[in-house]
Chain A
Amino acid sequence: NAGVTQTPKFQVLKTGQSMTLQCAQDMNHEYMSWYRQDPGMGLRLIHYSVGAGITDQGEVPNGYNVSRSTTEDFPLRLLSAAPSQTSVYFCASSRLADYNEQFFGPGTRLTVL
C-alpha cells in the first residue's frame, strides 16, 4: 500500500491565483481530512469528510473548498490564494469505526507571495 499520498510537495503561488492540492489514499478509509500546520499553532483542521459525497467544515475553513467524489480522493482547493495561506498542508485518513488513529500524508509546503 502507498498509504496517503499528496501532490505537489512544494508550490509557490502569487496572491489571487487558484490551485488544487491533491490527496489520495489506498486503504479504503472512510474518513479523510485536511490540516494546516503553522509554527506554534499545531495542526488546525480545515475540512473533513466521513465518506464519498459528504464533507464538513473544520476549525479554519475560510478560503478553502473540498469535495469527495470517491472514497480514495479528497482534493483541497484554494480559490484565491492569500499570503495568510502560506503553510504546510497535511492530508490524513482513517477508518471511521473504532476511533482509529489517522494516517498522515507527507505534506505540501505552500508559499503565497
Chain B
Amino acid sequence: AQSVAQPEDQVNVAEGNPLTVKCTYSVSGNPYLFWYVQYPNRGLQFLLKYITGDNLVKGSYGFEAEFNKSQTSFHLKKPSALVSDSALYFCAVRVLNDYKLSFGAGTTVTVRA
C-alpha cells in the first residue's frame, strides 16, 4: 500500500524567509509525487510534480521540490515566502499503472508580514 506523511500540521514563517514543507512517502516501486495547494474555500490547485529525471523540480508561484529517493522524501521549498503563500499544502503519491492518488493530511502554512 502507498502512503504519504506530512509530519508538520503547521508551518509558520516570516515574509521573505525560506519556506519548507516536509513530505515523506512509502510505495512499492517508483513513485510519482505531486504537491497541491488549497486556498480557503477553494479546490486544490496543482503546484508541481516529480515523475522521473532531475531530482529538483520547479513549479508554479516560485515553488520547487527536491526528490530524495534514499530518504523517501519530497520536500516543498520556496526561497522567499510571501503572505499570499498562506494556504493548506498537500503532498500526494501514485505509482506506475495505478491511477489512485494517495494524499497526506496536509500542512497549513502561515506567512506573517
Contacts and interface: CB of A to CB of B under 8 A. Distances in A.
A42 B104 contact: yes
Interface in A33-71: 33, 35, 40-45, 48, 50, 58-59
Interface in A1-42: 4, 31, 33, 35, 40-42
B14 interface: no
A105 B43 CA distance: 6
A51 to B, nearest CB: 11
Contact of B90 (A43, A48, A59, A96): A43
A42 B34 contact: no
User: By DSSP majority rule, is chain B's interface helix, strand, loop, or mixed?
Assistant: strand
Nearest to A105: B43
A92 B44 CA distance: 9
Interface residues of B, number: 22
B90 A106 contact: no
A110 B4 CA distance: 26
A50 B90 contact: no
Given A42-B104, A48-B99, A58-B100, A101 B34 contact: yes
Interface string B41-84: 01111100101000000000000000000000000000000000
Contacts of B36: 104
Given A31-B99, A41-B105, A42-B106, A101 B43 contact: no
A99 B32 CA distance: 8
Given A43-B90, A48-B99, A99-B94, A107 B105 contact: no
12 contacts: A4-B43, A33-B101, A45-B100, A45-B101, A50-B99, A59-B100, A92-B44, A99-B32, A99-B51, A101-B46, A104-B45, A106-B42
Interface of A: 4, 31, 33, 35, 40-45, 48, 50, 58-59, 90, 92, 96, 99, 101-107
Interface of B: 4, 9, 32, 34, 36, 42-46, 49, 51, 90, 94, 99-106
